[in-house]
Structure 1
Amino acid sequence: MSSVDAEPLHVILVGAGIGGLTAALALQHHGVRVTVLERTSQLTESGAGIQIAANGVHVMRALGLEGDIAEAGVAPGSYDIRDLRTGRQLWYIPFEDVAAQRYGAPMYNLHRSDLIDLLKRGLRQGSVRTEAKVVAVGQDESSAWAELATGERITADALIGADGIHSVVRTQLRGDEPRQFSNILMWRGLIPADRVAHLDLPENGNYWFGPGRTLITYWVRPGELYSVLASVPVDEVSRESWEDTGDLAGLLDSFKDAEPRARGMLEAIETGFITGMFYRDPIDGWTSGRISLLGDAAHPMVPFLAQGACQSMEDAWALAHCLADPMHDSVPAALQDYEARRRPRTTRVQVGARAMVKLVHESDPERVAVRDGRFQGLMRIDPIAERTWAFVMDYDITKAVREPAGDVVGLSGTREGVTMNRPESQRAHDLWRTAFTQEDIARGHDGLREGYERFLTTNFPTPAEATSRSIELGRVDAIEILGAQSAVEGPHLLHFHGGGYVVGSAESSLEYAARLASATNGRCVVVDYRLAPEHPYPAALDDALHAYRMLRESGVPASQIILSGESSGAGLAVAAALALKGAGEQLPAGIIAICPFADLTLSSPSVAKFDGRDPATNRDSLTNMAAMYVQTHEPTDPLVSPLYGDLSGLPPIFIAATDGEVLYDDARRLAEQASGVGVEVTSHFIEDSVHVFPLFAFLPETTETIDRIAQWARLLGDRAAR
């Protein structure tokens, strides 16, 4: 932005925490002059340990600090997560060499004060001013300034608020905004090595999860110092203020039933302090002209993805790159580019961290059991946690800043710059992309269910001309729907909705079901099968089979039944047919499989290839849904993942999917494997559309596909009539 002869850019950084100091180093590295204003008298960091994942290590490596961090801290070998009361292992995640190979860098744990010392050591003398309390900020067309409590005004080309969750700069930009309290308190403490020498505390992340509480513990100085973060419900601590305290009676009382190793560790703490867990919701903008925000000032998050510091580090490198990039003709343009590269990603991480807090602090015994079952499923489907943690760790900002800003992945798991070729498909893409709100995702599967129901019922209401009624197929609830026709002359479609076995319902599937019934001149019965994680495999399959058998007992011959489903419902339809074949029962006339989720190991190439392009689903969400469904079962069981089954002898299958969706290869593989063993397969693969496109009645390809299904169903009916 400046010529060779011009003065280098000058940036004021308000706040000398981890984010502010990393930004100062990154700006200095890019040839930008910095002034760091810190309100306290010295650069120290209270607290205990800090975890720097691979995405943060990339920045430290670029700044030449990885070797120092490796020497000062510990590279954990794994996350070892256990039940607080019994000590039983719930989830095991390897790191060390596995993480370094997968993500290009290891993870490190170290003391916060050690990291602060390493960061400030690299700054030029005079860059940091202590006892410099900023009370106001401002700007004009050519500069930005900070006004100190002393009345002094400091001027520069840009000003960045890195002053944490209580940011003065943010308040100046956006006014007073509420902080959110998670209703969780956090005890922190450090233990000298000799006090825990009798305990088995390896150089791992040694974690314990109990009802409403957790212990996050690890070494921060090898063989010297051990860090403990203990979270408890807010109503378990009563005091006038949450300050440094040596009174640990409340902590020990909250963990009175902890298993012996965890209890022994807590009893070794001599002093500690307690704070509330606060956060702010993601915001729609944090830049104004020459002033912007960074780290917790922009996106304060709860600590349960261990990403607060790492996201600040990513911010720091992106900020420095954008301000030094000669492609920008002004400071405001550079700061807007910085925000465009960072805000979608940090929003996703903020919301993901809240979802993790909810998950690990479940208190109801049934929900705890469900959560633990999900962990077991993740170990089967994602044994090195590649898909679970990749969205935060598999990211190198030092490379990403050289790519288009539209490549950043936002809240929906989709790259921000992805577009479709046609206005109709773009409309469908945008509907999927905005289907779930921040709050939906933060609330875990409960929020996703509400969001999915809202998405379907709002955008796809049941047609007024359709008639529906609730029915019982034995112990399984269902909804029968007819289209505009008054009599059933075509097939009886037994339909299973999609939603990854976790979300969706018969009620919200009626619009699509009505169109199927109308097109085939038949009847559609939509099954309300039980959902995971409360009801893992084989609950959905049992309900599907029971519904089929009850439909037959009601007088409908198998030759007039077609199993139908979209996404997971399509996989369920094929699995049900396999189960019926295995039981020697009469099979239905056919199967309609729209964009099937048929391999819950997620080994189809398109899952990775199109991750970030498909707005309806992504590798992360599929992994979690699959884990919730399989839990302690094997995902390669053909009745879970029908692509691992013997498809020979199945009835004719109609398969449809679109390129660019992550489940494309599930559909392609299903078609190839079925036809390869003699099954009559009718395939319909289209371009430039979205996952389960037949839900979107306004798409031309939907009309074509429904017409093809109707023709295919008539052909099956004609055969049965002969």
Structure 2
Amino acid sequence: MATTRNVHSADPVINPDSVSVYARTLEAACRATIRPAGEMMTLSAGAMPVVSGVINTLAKLRPAPRGVEREQVRLNGFRMEIVRPAGARSAMSEGVVMYMHGGGFFLCGLDTHRPVVAAIARRTGMPVVSVEYRQLPDTDISGSVTDCLTAYKWLLGHGVPASRIVFAGDSAGGYMTFATALRARDAGLPVPAGLVGLCPALNLDCTEKRAHPNYHRDSLIPLSALESVVKLGAEVDGRLDPQLSPVNNVLVGLPPALLIVAEDEVLRHDSELMAQRLAASGVPATLEIWRGQVHAFMAIFPSMPESRAALAHVAQFVRERIEAGRVARTA
């Protein structure tokens, strides 16, 4: 799955390899089941906890990931899980990934995303702090960002330098990745060493996504579901504040970013727009577009060949950013 990447360019890098049978099977399954179910579902504040409960219950039936050790931490109103490679002795102060799970701002948590978090921990050799931030309907999207900022402050308060922390997240967690970094910067906190968005949602305004060719191509996400979530979690009196979307913020001062997205997913628009605006702001950005994959493929099926390759790129980026932080602190 090798690709040639330029961390100083926002030009997309297309994965040129053939698509595995696993990826084709996953895409077909999503198109036949999950997308139709999402299109038929009426998403409401009352339905969200029910759907979330079902998904989390199913996630608990999977075997626990091997090769890692876990430790849970409780903060004010939410919990986190520190996932370390088995037998690893390095402290978080040597380098840590803060991971924010996806799930459309109302789904998923520690259980659903433990496999991808464990995969990142094993590949980087570093602890990964998985944040189970509060979601709809218990709080709005801004409240979720507040929890992620609290988690970041917890890391800083425990002696982890910002230069040795990389934020990462998939889908809605990709939103949290960028929104939390922006919130930290605006609060006068140091920004982390790097940002990783895996099929991230970065623009809450769905208008332009409706005009994108992927509006009809996405095999997993019906745009109507995302629009419903935005109405419930971000709009006030039917109006959406543009500044709630990371792509619309001043991006100067953010650290280097890696964006990985599926070629035919509807959120491709978000990553392309963010990559362009990061580059225009002087922020190094890499955009990878992967053929034949579904939204958040690396989080849904981390052991798939394409997922392993994409996560290897993530691990390389994380190690490079942490090492750059070490060099900067000793210079």
Aligned to 1:445: 48
2:267 maps to 1:669: no
* One of 74, 85, 101 as aligned partner of 1:483: 85
* One of 422, 426, 429 as aligned partner of 2:27: 429
One-letter identity of the residue aligned with 1:575 = A
Secondary structure of 1:588's match? coil
Q: How does 1:365-404 map to 2 (within 5 A)?
A: none
Structure 1 segments of 4+ aligned residues over 6 angstroms from their partners:
436-440
Q: What is the Cα deviation at residue 635 of structure 1?
A: 3.0
Cα distance in 2, alignment partners of residues 567 and 488 from structure 1: 29
Q: What is the Cα deviation at residue 588 of structure 1?
A: 0.7
Q: What is the Cα deviation at residue 606 of structure 1?
A: 6.4
2:312 maps to 1:716: no
Cα distance in 1, alignment partners of residues 203 and 50 from structure 2: 25
| 8 A Cα contact 1:529 1:544, kept in partner | yes
| 8 A Cα contact 2:72 2:82, kept in partner | yes
Q: How does 1:81-92 map to 2 (within 5 A)?
A: none
2:99 maps to 1:495: yes
Deviations 1:672-715 (CA, angstroms, capped at 9, x unpaired): 11111110112211111110111212322211111111111121
One-letter identity of the residue aligned with 2:70 = S
Secondary structure of 1:611's match? helix
Q: What is the Cα deviation at residue 449 of structure 1?
A: 1.2
Return closer, same or farther for 1:707/1:607 CA change in 2, 3 Å cut-off: farther
Secondary structure of 2:82's match? strand
Aligned to 1:682: 286
Cα distance in 2, alignment partners of residues 545 and 503 from structure 1: 19
Cα distance in 2, alignment partners of residues 692 and 619 from structure 1: 15
Structure 2 length-normalised TM:
0.83
| 8 A Cα contact 2:263 2:289, kept in partner | yes
Cα distance in 2, alignment partners of residues 583 and 480 from structure 1: 25
Secondary structure of 2:282's match? coil
Deviations 1:387-409 (CA, angstroms, capped at 9, x unpaired): xxxxxxxxxxxxxxxxxxxxxxx
Q: What is the Cα deviation at residue 552 of structure 1?
A: 0.8
Q: What is the Cα deviation at residue 568 of structure 1?
A: 0.9
Cα distance in 2, alignment partners of residues 565 and 671 from structure 1: 16
| 8 A Cα contact 1:614 1:660, kept in partner | yes
Return closer, same or farther for 1:710/1:537 CA change in 2, 3 Å cut-off: closer
2:115 maps to 1:517: no
* One of 617, 631, 638 as aligned partner of 2:221: 617
Higher relative contact order (CA 8 A, sep 6+): 2
Q: What is the Cα deviation at residue 632 of structure 1?
A: 1.7
Q: What is the Cα deviation at residue 422 of structure 1?
A: 4.7
Cα distance in 1, alignment partners of residues 36 and 71 from structure 2: 31
| 8 A Cα contact 1:654 1:682, kept in partner | yes
Q: What is the Cα deviation at residue 719 of structure 1?
A: 1.3
Q: What is the Cα deviation at residue 603 of structure 1?
A: 3.0
2:304 maps to 1:706: no
* One of 544, 548, 552 as aligned partner of 2:148: 544
2:255 maps to 1:651: yes
Return closer, same or farther for 1:607/1:544 CA change in 2, 3 Å cut-off: farther
Aligned to 1:465: 67
One-letter identity of the residue aligned with 2:155 = L
Cα distance in 1, alignment partners of residues 306 and 274 from structure 2: 21
Secondary structure of 1:511's match? helix
Return closer, same or farther for 1:475/1:557 CA change in 2, 3 Å cut-off: farther
Q: What is the Cα deviation at residue 643 of structure 1?
A: 0.8
Q: What number of residue pairs does the alignment pair up?
A: 301
Secondary structure of 1:453's match? helix
Q: Larger % of helix: which?
A: 2
Cα distance in 1, alignment partners of residues 114 and 211 from structure 2: 28
Cα distance in 2, alignment partners of residues 604 and 483 from structure 1: 41
Secondary structure of 2:51's match? helix
2:183 maps to 1:579: yes
| 8 A Cα contact 1:607 1:619, kept in partner | no
One-letter identity of the residue aligned with 2:85 = G
Q: How does 1:8-407 map to 2 (within 5 A)?
A: none
* One of 223, 236, 246 as aligned partner of 1:642: 246
Return closer, same or farther for 1:545/1:563 CA change in 2, 3 Å cut-off: same
| 8 A Cα contact 2:88 2:125, kept in partner | no
**Unpaired runs of 5+ in structure 1?**
1-419
Return closer, same or farther for 1:437/1:484 CA change in 2, 3 Å cut-off: farther
| 8 A Cα contact 2:48 2:136, kept in partner | no
Secondary structure of 1:684's match? strand
Secondary structure of 1:655's match? strand
Deviations 1:193-247 (CA, angstroms, capped at 9, x unpaired): xxxxxxxxxxxxxxxxxxxxxxxxxxxxxxxxxxxxxxxxxxxxxxxxxxxxxxx
Return closer, same or farther for 1:567/1:655 CA change in 2, 3 Å cut-off: same
| 8 A Cα contact 2:68 2:83, kept in partner | yes
| 8 A Cα contact 1:604 1:663, kept in partner | no
| 8 A Cα contact 2:264 2:294, kept in partner | yes
One-letter identity of the residue aligned with 1:622 = L
Deviations 1:499-553 (CA, angstroms, capped at 9, x unpaired): 1111111222111100011111111111111111231132101101111001110
Q: What is the Cα deviation at residue 662 of structure 1?
A: 0.7
Secondary structure of 1:479's match? strand
Q: Identity, % of aligned pairs?
A: 23
Asked which structure has the greater CA Rg, the reply is 1
Q: Larger % of strand: which?
A: 1
Return closer, same or farther for 1:607/1:502 CA change in 2, 3 Å cut-off: farther
Cα distance in 1, alignment partners of residues 77 and 86 from structure 2: 29
Secondary structure of 1:651's match? coil
